[in-house]
Amino acid sequence: MRGSEFAELMAFLAVAEERSFRRAAQRLGVSPSALSHSMRALEERLGARLLHRTTRSVAPTEAGQDLLHRLRPAIAEVDEAVRDVTAFQQRPRGRVRINLPRAAAELVIMPKLKAFRDAYPDVRVDLAIDDAITDVVARGFDAGIRSGGIVERDMISVPLTSDLRMAVVGSPALLGGLPKIGDPADLKGVPCVTYL
């Protein structure tokens, strides 16, 4: 259904309920002539007369009564759906799926999780702890936590911590017999305990 068709049905509903083009136009915030034009367009599109009109009154035809009877619950359902979505803005609720590496879970999220749950009890947080580089959008996640160097350029990023410094450390006995190490690539072949 196109937006104009939905607008025509809403206009019909207002005219049929108000039984007046003037009152329906006030309710919808449009001019009576624009409303009359919408009703003619709807009737032409449907190929049926929906309203009996006289200079003093407006009433639904039999076809109009049938449409009104079926339209009211459908519009009420749409209104309820819109109200439900609006409730998300008033108080966060629902499920948030986050993909993150183990280090981010342990250092950033877990220490704050209880306070978050207390503040937002209607939000369910699903953490997918995964040290692989997962495409968060393709996998249906709401967010992902990554180190700054591996954030795609088209992603929106927000820093969660100050810059983290990495270091390579080793005992003099291990490193003493090696040439000077100036680049991580120089560690190739050196026995290391690494984080994978």
Tell me, yes or no, whether 85 and 7 share the same domain. yes
pLDDT digits (tens, 9 = 90+) for 114-130: 999 999 998 999 999 98
Instruction: State the sign of the Cα–Cα–Cα–Cα dihedral 27, 30, 32, 37.
Output: negative
Q: Is residue 39 part of a domain?
A: yes
Residue 6 has pLDDT above 90, yes or no: no
58 and 72 in a single domain? The answer is: yes
pLDDT of res. 178 = 77
Q: What is the CATH number of the domain that holds 127?
A: 3.40.190.10
Kind of pairing between the strands at 143-144 and 123-129: unpaired
- Mean pLDDT throughout 168-176? 80
Whole domain around residue 102: which residue ranges? 94-150
Q: How many CB atoms lie within 10 A of CB 151?
A: 13
Residue 63 domain-assigned (yes or no): yes
pLDDT in tens, 53-95: 887 888 999 999 999 999 999 989 988 888 877 766 777 888 9
Mean pLDDT along residues 159-166: 79
| 189 band by pLDDT with thresholds 50, 70 and 90 | confident
- CB within 8 A of 71, min separation 6: which ones? 9, 12, 13
Q: What is the pLDDT of residue 110?
A: 92
Tokens of 123: 């939000």
Please tell me the distance from the alpha carbon of residue 163 to that of residue 148, in angstroms, as a whole number: 9
Do 46 and 66 sit in the same domain of this protein? yes
The answer, yes or no, to whether residue 181 has pLDDT greater than 60, is yes
What's the rounded Cα separation, in Å, for the pair 178 and 175? 5
Three-class secondary structure of residue 153 per DSSP: coil
